[in-house]
Every structure is written in structure tokens, then in C-alpha cells.
Chain A
């Protein structure tokens, strides 16, 4: 477990994942980027709760809906803020903030700053 606040990105598209990592690095935000929901849960188990999660929905191995259900079902992580980044906002689960892809670097930084400072 690490005490360093970090942002978790769960995104299966390698280029997009790398782009999001660059945006977060550029903003000076500690981050971890993984390629599916299962790796996301594994990362949380290893590093503890992230300050914020950017979550894709359609992914192989474990999709975003399943990841979110597992996260919300664990009392330790149920309150972790999640922002769904998706191409199809109408399919997003209710009760989470949804950003339609492509998300601008400004929007990403704005949200991360809000949640990082809230912690």
C-alpha cells in the first residue's frame, strides 16, 4: 500500500491510455493506468484507494460496469469517485459523472484538481 494519492485510469485502448497518462503526467498528477477492470481491481488491492478513477465501459476481460459493481460492493472503496469516459453516454450507469470521448486535457485536469484538492 502506498500513501501517495493517485489517479487510476482503466482504459483498454493502448493509444488512448497512453494519451491520458501523458495528460496526467503533464499536470503533475501521480497516476496508474491499466487496461481492464480486473487489472483495475488488482491495482487498487495493491496500492489502495485512488483519489479518482477514469473508467472506460467497453473493455475485454472485465468491463466497466462489472468493475463499478465490484468497487461499489466493497465498503473500503464504495465512495471512491468515478468518472466514466465513454463513447456511448446513454449506456453509462446512473449515479456517476459521465464524459463523452474524446475528453479534452483541460476537462481531465479540471476534474483531477477538484478531487485531488478535496482529499
Chain B
């Protein structure tokens, strides 16, 4: 809020209970001054006003109509439309934002209040001006806008410009394999193009998701009433297709598992957690994936018999670009974004991923979704 106060303009600065008025004004964080009816002469110019407007108290940045004053959209403000001139015609101005040039050429952005002052007879005695400088605030907003523009360009580049040529590479390579009749050596070469292209595709997806997760809108969802158990089953099947040697026990309790979800995204979360559980579990012991409902929520849990996750590692487990130091994690070809994205997806559904880890009981990741009563859509 800007400082608002009354002043007896008929009187000169005088000691008030032993404290000069100017000393009081000089303590205010807002700039204040009283401009006389000539529109040029100023009095009661506070220290803050002198600092922001420059000069030695002549405050020409506000009163000198030869100096530039613009709206925040960059339009020139005519002398008659400036706060001092308008207040001297009797108008009350509030929260007038403008960019003005100081005599030394520096630019300042102000939020200005201007009020006409009258003497005891009602005659106009001047304009009381109070303002705060908002240069830093506006520059921060402008920087934030530029950052948002940059993010949009970055997302468009990743999502479209980069993925289109990759799609051409992958589809062409897959078509070459499909046509068959390739010598064994070329078959292997093209298969490598496909696997590397798919890896690049996963990385693009992850960077795209991470960028969206960090934006205020978050990862976009297309939610519909869906059977969570169906999603989990598909994700487990996909994980087993990747790792046919793995053992995964799927436990689906009796009941209704319908929730308002983006099924593709929930599959992505489960696939990530099951994939991790396969990698970090104990060979020979199955990963256990369970879905249960209690009438209010549907809980999905993924358990493996691997070693406990240390408290230090747990603290950064969901941070972006983090990987553990175990040999298994060090060999990972990913970006270290999977759990970060998974947590954001679950959070966007109104839930959170919980972790339960001990050497005795193994490691369990679980998340809960609000259960719906309706039947799933087809």
C-alpha cells in the first residue's frame, strides 16, 4: 500500500513534538512530495523520492514535462495526462503505473498516487504525490514472461521439431526390418538404429514431462473413469515384455477399482515402478504387484525383495536427474527422471507415492487414487 496522509499545506515544515516533519517523511519507504500549483516547484520531498527520482530535490523526473514518461506498454504519456498535471486539475489518481526517465537518463518504473491538496479556503494549493518504485518487480515479471516464452519454444522444439525426424528414422528403420530379406549384418545394424531411436524417444518424453511438471500447469492429464486394475495389468505385461526373464506376481483383490484417471499416465507410473523393482529386486524372488480397494480409494503397491534404500538416498529419490551409486543404477542409460515424473503424475491425480523400505521386508512403493462408484467407460 502506498502511504496516504494529510498535511496542512498552509504551514511550513515545523518541529512537531520535537521531530521535524521532513525527518518523518525521510523515514518513509515510499517516495513523497508536494508539488505546488505551478507544477514545477516541489516541497516535502522525501529521501526516498530524491533517491528514486535522482537529482537534488528538484524532482524533475516527475515534474519536467520535457522528460519522457511512458505507460508500461511503451506509449508516451502526454504532459496533460501525467499524474501531477491531473492532480492539479482536481483529479485523484491511484495506482498509476508508468516508466519515467530521470535527468541522468536512467529509467525507473513507479506506481503513483496523486491527490489534489486544498488550503483552508478550498483553493488548490498543490498536488500530494506518493509513489513506490516497482522497477525490479516489473523486470522480474518481464523476465518471467521471457522464461515462459522460452519454455514454450523449448517444448515445441522437443515435442514437434525433434520428434518428427526421429519418427521418420524409427518408422523407416522398422519398415526396412518389416520388408525383410536383409543380410544378417544389416539386420543387426538396423535393429540398433531402432533401439537407439527408441531410447532417444524415451529421453525426449522424459525431458518433455519434466519441463511440464515444473511449469505451473503441471503434466496435462486426460482423465476418465477407468479400471485401475486393467491399467496395472497392462503395465505389468509391458514390463514383462521388456524383461521376459523377470518374475512378477500380480495380486488383484476382489472389488471395484474404478478411479478418475489418465490411464496412459497411470500405466507409465506402474511400468516405471515395476521396471525399477525388477532391476533392484533379488534374483529368483518375484516382484509383487498388488491392487486393493477399501471403498474410498484404490491402492497400488509394488514390492521387491531388494536391499533397503538408505535414508540419504530416500531424501533425493524423487529429485530430477538423480541416480543412486549402486552398480545397477550407475549402468542405467536413463536420465534419472523416471521417479520424478512418476511422482508428478500421481500428484496430478491427487495422490502421492509412498515408500516403505527395510532390509527385513524389502522395498515397497505404493500410491493411492480416489475410488469412483461408477462403472468404467468402454
Contacts and interface: CB of A to CB of B under 8 A. Distances in A.
Interface stretch (B25-33, B174-182, B352-360): B174-182
Interface string A1-40: 0000000000001011011101100100000000000000
B23 to A, nearest CB: 61
Contacts of B201: 102
B164 A16 contact: yes
B174 A105 contact: yes
Contacts, number: 63
B178 A26 contact: yes
- Give the size category of A's interface with B: 20 to 34
A94 to B, nearest CB: 8
Nearest to A57: B160
Contacts of A117: none
Nearest to B171: A19
Nearest to A56: B164
A72 interface: no
A87 B168 contact: no
Contacts of B264: 89
Contact of B178 (A16, A58, A105): A105
B159 interface: yes
Nearest to B262: A90
Contacts of B178: 26, 105-106
A43 B16 CA distance: 87
Contacts of B175: 19, 22-23, 26, 105
A89 B221 CA distance: 10
Given A90-B222, A106-B178, A13 B168 contact: yes
Given A16-B171, A102-B166, A26 B160 contact: no
Interface string A82-117: 000001111100000000011111100000000000
Interface in B219-257: 220-222
Interface of B is mostly: helix
B160 A104 contact: no
B97 to A, nearest CB: 35
B167 interface: yes
A34 to B, nearest CB: 16
A87 B171 contact: no
A23 B176 CA distance: 10
B165 interface: yes
Nearest to A20: B171
Interface string A41-70: 000000000000000001000000000000
A16 B168 contact: yes
B216 to A, nearest CB: 16
Contact of A26 (B179, B197, B221, B222): B179
Given A26-B179, A87-B159, A90-B220, A19 B164 contact: no
A88 B171 contact: no
A104 B165 contact: no
Interface in B145-191: 156, 159-160, 163-168, 170-172, 174-175, 178-179
Nearest to B166: A102
Pick the most buried of B166, B171, B201: most chain A CB atoms within 10 A of its CB. Answer: B171
Contacts of A22: 172, 175
Interface string B328-340: 0000000000000
Contacts of A19: 167-168, 171-172, 175
30 contacts: A13-B164, A13-B165, A15-B164, A15-B168, A16-B168, A16-B171, A18-B168, A19-B167, A19-B168, A19-B171, A22-B172, A22-B175, A23-B175, A26-B179, A58-B156, A87-B167, A89-B222, A89-B264, A90-B220, A90-B221, A101-B163, A101-B164, A101-B167, A102-B170, A102-B201, A103-B167, A104-B170, A104-B174, A105-B175, A106-B178
Q: Which 9 pairs of residues, A with B, have the shortest CB-CB distance? A: A102-B167, A15-B168, A90-B220, A13-B164, A101-B167, A102-B170, A87-B163, A16-B168, A87-B159
Given A18-B168, A19-B168, A26-B175, 5 more contacts: A19-B172, A87-B160, A101-B163, A104-B174, A105-B174
Interface of A: 13, 15-16, 18-20, 22-23, 26, 58, 87-91, 101-106
